[in-house]
Amino acid sequence: MTDSDNGKPLDETPPTDSAEAEAKAKEEAAAKAKAAKAKALAEAEAAKEPWERDPSTPSWEEVEDSLLVDSLRAAHADAVLSARSFAGDLVLEIDSQSIREVCRSLKEEHGYKLFVDSCGAHFDNREEKELEVVYILHNLETNDQVRLKVRVDVGVEVPSVAKVYAGANWAERETYDMYGIRFTDHPDMTRILLWEGFNGHPLLKDFPVEGIDTGAAIYPETYTDNAGPVAGTGTGWRPPAPPEEKTSQSAPESSGEES
Amino acid sequence: MDNVEANVLTTTYDKIFNWARRSAIWPMQFGLACCAIEMMAVLDPRHDMSRFGAEVMRGTPRQCDLMIVAGTVTEKMAPIVKRLWDQMPEPKWALAMGACATCGGPYRTYAVTQGVDRVIPVSVYVPGCPPRPEALLWGLMHLQRRIDRMSVSNLDDQGPMSPS
């Protein structure tokens, strides 16, 4: 009790001074906090990616001053049909017959050693060259990516780049499976996801999603006649009705219940 | 001789066989898609399939009585389902769990088998997408009721049975 009694007056002896000092300290702290807040805001603004600071829709731009494009144009005459960029990504349209040579020089001379992916695309509203093959290549040293596009007519083969990039093997098989684009000199130009004998290429725009019924059994070696799944089963097909033996079955069933 | 009455049980073949079969259904540990998650939930302490004697999931079809087709059967998976079914010893039953295994579900596409009954005979269809664990338990109890109506004198009953 005595301690607290002694302590209290000691704290309150300079009442005016301490109040002033307190107010000053408060002001200083407030100013400090304000400055810190403003600094943090500025830092956050600076750390933002360009598209966060200016979130307008990117657009296609012609690329004029790219060393890569110039060197490709010099090495492969007429191979680069157009060079554009979209949101900072370089997109080159390549003549379909020179895609392998362009890929080879990109890999061996320009350091695009990583084959990221390749896929197809179908634009059924185009007058000609409806199909497209897209290649995405990556340079691991500069962290640059380049997108190559090849446009072809239906039924035209594209040179395979599987000899240049081993990773293109399965990607090209998938492109063939889904779009029907065949690749010349591919080591194994067969379907990869769907079974052999499947009718059509499902990612073409005119392919019915439930499949095209050929009536043929998918796995004739697994099932007997008229059994098992049928290619394009979305339409029509029903398993054959089991032989009618209802009457002979029902009698023992009921006797079993009674016993 | 006094112990005879306490130790001898008289019953019928059907009753004792059906009791044994329905009380120890061993399902196959075999999931194809998200329905398998619900199938796992049925095994947990809350739903507890072992109350019905069906908790012994076997890793091989050769020790199973019941194939729970839990999930989407694709056309490429269909022959494997068929092979596993053929490897199961009789008597055996198939339970189509969920919309996909029943009829293809939302996937009316070129890649999906429109119902596992195109490949194997199905005894019980459990609706749902995915079915609640309670629904799978309902399917199991339904199957048990059907097994109870089987008769050793008619082995044809082991196939898909008429609706009860």
pLDDT category at A256 given cuts 50, 70, 90 is: very low
With an 8 Å Cβ cutoff, are A256 and B117 in contact?
Answer: no
CA–CA separation, A148 vs A160, rounded Å? 14
Write out chain B residues lying below 8 Å of A228, CB-based.
Answer: 78-79, 82, 118-119
Mean pLDDT of chain B: 86
Please give the helix or strand (H or E) that residue A71 lies within, else none. Answer: helix A67-75
User: CB pairs under 8 A, 24+ apart, for B56-61?
Assistant: B56/B24, B56/B26, B56/B27, B57/B26, B57/B27, B57/B28, B57/B29, B58/B26, B58/B27, B58/B28, B58/B29, B59/B29, B61/B28, B61/B85, B61/B87, B61/B88
Which pLDDT tens digit goes with each residue over B102-146? 988 888 888 888 888 888 888 899 999 999 999 999 999 999 988
Q: Which residues of A touch B74 (CB under 8 A)?
A: none
pLDDT range class, residue B164, cuts 50, 70, 90: very low
A117-133 residue pLDDT tens = 999 999 989 888 899 99
Minimum mean pLDDT range among A18-27, A242-251, B102-111, B142-151: A242-251
pLDDT at A226: 55
* Chain B residues with beta carbon closer than 8 angstroms to that of A207: 110
Q: Which amino acid is at A154?
A: V
Residue B72 has pLDDT above 80, yes or no: yes
Tell me: pLDDT of A57 over 70: yes
